[in-house]
């Protein structure tokens, strides 16, 4: 998975090959690993989205960078490449100490998250 900020928006919302990798480690008779990861991610993502917004309002770039990093990790675990790349871009921008562009990236993350939620629902419905 590329970490280039230029890749934001050009990758799939959710990488099906990553879901296949996760399903390959699924233990027989156990709850669906991918569905469980979706649930955990969706629960934690609310905290991340709120954190990004609040930390940006406070102009706390250091904590914003850490929040973007945590959100990126969860997104990439699922194969949410575009969301992960947007979070990576925000993380890098914050580490440079530059505020210009932060608000746009926070909005980009929100938009990518909404696309991801729709894709997760599509995948979830195709499993049932």
> Per-residue pLDDT tens for 43-58?
999 999 999 999 999 9
Residue 122 lies in a domain: yes
> How many domains does the chain divide into?
1
Supply the range of the domain harboring residue 117.
14-23+30-127
Residue 115 lies in a domain: yes
The 8 Å CB, 24+ separation contacts for 94-100 are: 94/61, 94/62, 94/64, 94/65, 94/68, 95/65, 97/61, 99/59, 99/61
Residue 9 lies in a domain: no
Q: What is the CATH number of the domain that holds 64?
A: 1.20.120.160
Instruction: Report pLDDT digits (tens) over 73-128.
Output: 999 999 999 999 999 999 999 999 989 999 999 999 999 999 999 999 999 888 65
Classify residue 46 by burial, with Cβ atoms within 10 Å: 0-12, 13-18, 19+: exposed
Residue 2 lies in a domain: no
3 state SS of 58 = coil
2: confidence class by pLDDT, cuts 50, 70, 90 = very low
Residue 8 lies in a domain: no
């Amino acid at each position: 998975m590329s970490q280039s900020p230029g890749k934001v928006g050009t990758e799939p919302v959710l990488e099906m090959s990553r879901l296949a990798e996760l399903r390959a480690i699924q233990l027989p008779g156990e709850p669906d690993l991918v569905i469980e990861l979706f649930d955990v991610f969706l629960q934690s993502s609310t905290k991340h989205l709120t954190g990004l917004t609040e930390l940006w309002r406070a102009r706390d770039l250091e904590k914003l960078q850490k929040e973007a990093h945590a959100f990126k990790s969860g997104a990439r675990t699922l194969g949410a490449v575009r969301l992960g790349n947007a979070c990576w871009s925000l993380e890098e921008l914050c580490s440079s100490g530059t505020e210009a562009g932060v608000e746009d990236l926070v909005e980009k993350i929100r938009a990518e998250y909404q696309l991801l939620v729709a894709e997760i629902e599509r995948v979830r419905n195709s499993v049932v």
